[in-house]
Chains A and B, each alone.
Chain A
Amino acid sequence: MPVLGKFIPWLRLSVIGSATYESMCADLTITAFGHSGLGDTSMSAEAWVGVVWVMSVVALAWPLCNVIGLRFYDKGMKKVSGPFMGILAAALFMGMMAIMGVPKFLNFADPVSVIVAFVAGGSVLLLDFLAKKTGVKALSEFSFPLAMLLGMCSAFIVG
């Protein structure tokens, strides 16, 4: 997104945005103004202002979901009382992790990423085990970031 300057990408990426969504919005708008796409350095000022409008307004879809529905949804969730609430939250998280995380272990076209996923997962278990054996609680408390770093470091070795 350097073609959009320094400040608009910084604003958009730090408030709501993700690079993927913002790049798609910008590309759609620039194309609608008759240019070739996001990399087009001959973009007109009208197209640039149009990009800022589209990126800013489309990003409001997420906050508007909260404004319109969060209070009602939260009230409904609070009525699910009793021991099932904990299982509900755990099940939802498990469902999310299954579809987001399991494919990462089966990306055979990129074996380095598969190894990274396994190393990171194994590292968490190892760190928790070492924390119990040695009594060093910090190993368990920081197991997630440490495992993440170990996984990324394994990419240096095998990559």
Chain B
Amino acid sequence: MSKNTGGFSGYDKKIHSFGMISYIIIILALAGVPLVIQIVSGVAPDFGSVMGAMGGALTVFLPVAVIEFLSYTPIIGAGGMYQVFITGNVMNMKLPAAQSGQKLAKVEPGSKEADVISVMSIGVSSLVTMAILFVGLLLASRLLPVLSSPTMAPAFNNIMPAIMGALLVPRIKGDPKLASVPCVLAMVVTLVLGYTTVTAMQTYLLPIFLVIAVAWGYFLFKSNQKKDNKVNENAAEQ
């Protein structure tokens, strides 16, 4: 498998070119929707009220967007990021799809192959989501009684615990040393602050846990390097 060796390859340049062009089109289209609605309907909302609401919302969501941008990029790569920040639903759909795809393809996280697999997995997940949303829109009146029935409620209320359990446990089993410090710390924080507080503060706790996990991973990496060097020195002496 090929590692990232610094600098952009031809593939990376194409990803960024195509990503930027498509993003400019999408941003103009998205911003155009309210403009067209306003022009066609002739209804002009109060500018002050709109700006006030926009400022309030951005105060909450801009830090979230920046934190998610910094957190997800190393995991799913640039190609995956161009997709997920348009299609959304990162934690509950796109990230599991990317991780599942990387596991199936047996690629190393952070490698060029992992970037490509992420792009394909997230692309397929996005298409499936759009198809299901479209079918849901068409069959809304028939599906709604089934989906909102009390019988189905226990399953649909527990989608996130099921996703997290299925993602986390194999990761802990796969590398218990790497998992130890972040998971024990998360347990302590949850037991001390309580589940509700931790869930409310998750976006702000995330960068702290990322820094701790990377620092711990670097410590383990350096420890293993020292052990390997000692073994090589002993083998050379013999």
Contact = CB atoms under 8 A, between A and B. Distances in A.
Interface of A: 6, 10-11, 13-18, 21, 24-25, 28-29, 31-33, 45-50, 52-54, 56-67, 69-71, 73-75, 77-109, 112-114, 116-125, 128, 141, 143-145, 147-149, 151-153, 155-156, 159
A128 B81 CA distance: 29
Interface in B1-43: 3-8, 12, 16, 19-20, 23-24, 26-27, 30-31, 33-34, 37-38, 41, 43
5 contacts: A16-B88, A49-B44, A70-B81, A103-B202, A106-B190
Nearest to A61: B65
A122 B172 CA distance: 12
A149 B26 CA distance: 35
A140 to B, nearest CB: 9
A63 B118 CA distance: 18
B49 A32 contact: yes
Contacts, number: 360
Contacts of B169: 120-122, 124-125
Nearest to B182: A98
Main secondary structure on chain A at its contact with chain B?
Answer: helix
A11 B75 contact: no
Interface in B48-89: 49-50, 52-54, 56-58, 60-62, 65-66, 68-71, 73-75, 77-78, 81-82, 85-89
Contacts of A32: 49-50, 52-53, 56
Given A62-B68, A88-B110, A94-B175, 14 more contacts: A32-B49, A33-B49, A49-B44, A53-B45, A70-B81, A89-B74, A96-B71, A98-B186, A99-B182, A103-B190, A117-B162, A120-B161, A122-B169, A151-B165
B161 A113 contact: yes
Contacts of B117: none
Contacts of A24: 57, 60
A114 to B, nearest CB: 7
Contacts of A82: 3
B171 A92 contact: no
Interface of B, secondary structure class, is helix
Contact of A63 (B7, B23, B68): B23
B183 interface: yes
Contacts of B235: none
A91 B6 CA distance: 20
B168 interface: yes
Contacts of A83: 3, 221
6 nearest A-B residue pairs (beta carbon): A95-B213, A121-B169, A91-B217, A159-B154, A120-B165, A89-B110
B166 A86 contact: no
Contacts of A53: 34, 38, 45, 50, 54
B183 A102 contact: yes
A103 B199 contact: yes
B205 interface: yes
A83 B224 CA distance: 12
Nearest to A118: B165
Contacts of B86: 15-16, 63
A60 B4 CA distance: 30
Contacts of B211: 95
